[in-house]
Amino acid sequence: YGYQLGVKHQYKEGMMDQVDRVLYDLNHNPFSRRILTNIYVHQDLHEMNLYPCAYSMTFNVTQKKGEDRLTLNAILNQRSQDVLAANNWNVVQYAVLVHMIAQVCDMNVGELVHVIADAHIYDRHIPIIRELIARTPYPAPKFWLNPEVKDFYQFTRNDVRVEDYVTGEQIRDIPIAI
């Protein structure tokens, strides 16, 4: 789905893809209500095996009274989600993205609001979900993002780290519906 984000479009400021546009607007017009990405491009759907589930992000910047530094918030819209197979992945990937964008725009990280139109648990997943719910929870890990990176396109996998992550026994062979 990254193709849609990388397509260049003509703006009065020049040619930019969707990510470039978000970064530009956050730096030049942070209180705009038009800062968003959208990968649900109807003309491309026929080429996809699965239509995008998480398809748009809207970025909203706020400022606390008396503070100079802005705060970046985001709303993730998702049409459909297999809760067992995708929820953790969707939340983590977009939360990390918000942290990355906030950092390179010199903003605080605010809220990530995740709107899911159809969050579902398949019948065959119910026993697995019950097992997961019955497990003893572990403390939340810590997220680290290399504070020296100031250019969004310079992030590498070495600039992102999860610390103090404790896991239970892995559940394998989760059946996936397409």
pLDDT at position 68, please?
96
- Considering the entire predicted model, what is its pTM? 0.94
Across 66-97, b (16+ Cβ under 10 Å) vs e yields eeeebbbbbbbbbebbbebbbbeebeeebbbb
Where do we find the tokens 């250019």? Answer: 151
Active site residues: 53
Backbone φ and ψ for 65, nearest 5 degrees, come out as -55, 130
The per-residue pLDDT for range 119-174, each reduced to its tens digit, is: 999 999 999 999 999 999 999 999 999 999 999 999 999 999 999 999 999 998 88
Contacts of 76 (CB under 8 A, 6+ apart): 54, 56, 57, 90, 94, 112, 113, 114, 115
The per-residue pLDDT for range 40-85, each reduced to its tens digit, is: 999 999 999 999 999 999 999 999 999 999 999 999 999 999 999 9
CB of 138 within 8 A of CB of 167? Answer: yes
- What is the rounded CA–CA span in Å between residue 27 and residue 45? 32
In order of start, what are the domains of the chain with their CATH numbers? 2-122 (3.30.572.10)
- What is the rounded CA–CA span in Å between residue 148 and residue 145? 9
Query: Is the pLDDT reported for residue 178 higher than 80?
Result: no
